[in-house]
Structure 1
């Protein structure tokens, strides 16, 4: 669906920033809404959706365990 959203978990990405997460969330919401930039009357809903997707993404990345990743590596539980 969103082929250009990059994978944000190790080993594909070691240093994921808030900016990376926000950009992926924005791209996802743009894709599913069909709006690159929503009209003023939809801006609040659009921004809330981006924030919710970014929050869910950060939570997911903090919670997943990548098999075979070194202990203590980002995305891997110790």
Structure 2
């Protein structure tokens, strides 16, 4: 989908920071919306979507179990 979004779970990444999660969420919302930076009248919806995607991403990473390893965790 969006090649600039990197995999954020073990074994691909040893440690995931909140900045990694936020960057991935921003790239996803940019791709889906078609906006690099939304107009002022769309900024609140855009920012809310980035926050929601980041929260969902962090929750997913916290819940994933890597077989033969420890849980990935999202650094949050």
Kindly state the Cα deviation for residue 68 of structure 1 after the two structures are TM-superposed.
2.3
User: Which ranges of structure 1 fall in alignment gaps of 5 or more residues?
Assistant: none
1:32-71 map, 5 Å = 32-69=32-69
**Higher CA-based Rg:** 1
Matched with 2:17 is 17
Normalising by structure 2, we get a TM-score of 0.91
Which residue of 58, 65, 72 corresponds with 1:75?
72
Name the CA distance, whole Å, in 2 between partners of 1:14 and 1:59: 17
User: Which ranges of structure 2 fall in alignment gaps of 5 or more residues?
Assistant: none
* Larger RCO, structures 1/2 (Cα 8 Å, 6+ apart): 2
Runs of at least 4 residues of structure 1 off by over 2 A? Answer: none
Normalising by structure 1, we get a TM-score of 0.88
- Computed over aligned residues only, the root mean square deviation of the Cα atoms, in angstroms, reads 1.2
Aligned residues: 73
